[in-house]
Chain A
């Protein structure tokens, strides 16, 4: 089964600064999808960004962008111009036949 690893349990960043969250995964598949989800205290899962493995171009969504390194099986999330509302748990997820999550990174944006 595929595994997803997030090695940063907690991170903090100053408001308006940039932060990068790391994610690596292990798979023998060639076609799959990768996601970053945000989970605020409400526990609602909010899709931040997705990446198709067959696309070489890194996905971007406004202040959020990824660095997808397929050969290295790495999928990091960069948040630019961090805002207080970005404070939440962030989960990296791998999807092929099902969706599996990393352990999560608790991000705190400080004023």
Chain B
């Protein structure tokens, strides 16, 4: 079946640096991708919705200049955490769909653990 691959699974970066997380749809065209953040023992919080070729739509409270989302192709979306700080440490997970409004299946990546030291 369709698979969404997220990379890297684990990343440690120094405070003040930037880190990029990739989300790839391997065998379908992902017109829409979502990025979530999940704190320990909490739910998935939607950060932004990314449509191919368009600017991402960010949720209220999510800093668009800090969490840069790019969806330049139908198979790849990237999340870049700029000037990372320890409070950005979290589990980030992406999901992708070939058609949200038509109810097409949402596929999730494996997630990425970010630790900022």
Contacts and interface: CB of A to CB of B under 8 A. Distances in A.
Contacts of A96: 100-101
Looking at B43, B95, B100, B108, the one whose CB has the most chain A CB atoms below 10 A away is B43
Which 8 pairs show the lowest CB-CB distances between chains A and B? A45-B108, A101-B44, A101-B43, A103-B43, A43-B111, A98-B49, A33-B103, A104-B43
B106 A95 contact: yes
Interface of B: 34, 38, 42-44, 46, 49, 91, 93, 95, 100-101, 103, 105-106, 108, 110-111
Contact of A103 (B42, B46, B49): B42
B38 A91 contact: no
A101 B101 CA distance: 17
Contact of A43 (B38, B49, B105, B106): B38
A84 interface: no
Interface residues of A, number: 18
A98 B42 CA distance: 19
A99 B43 contact: no
Contacts of B106: 35, 47, 95, 99
Interface of A: 33, 35, 43-45, 47, 52, 91, 95-104
B46 A100 contact: yes
A16 to B, nearest CB: 28
27 contacts: A35-B106, A43-B91, A43-B93, A43-B110, A43-B111, A44-B111, A45-B44, A45-B93, A45-B95, A91-B44, A95-B100, A95-B103, A96-B100, A96-B101, A97-B49, A97-B100, A98-B34, A98-B100, A99-B34, A99-B46, A99-B100, A99-B106, A101-B43, A101-B44, A103-B42, A103-B43, A104-B42
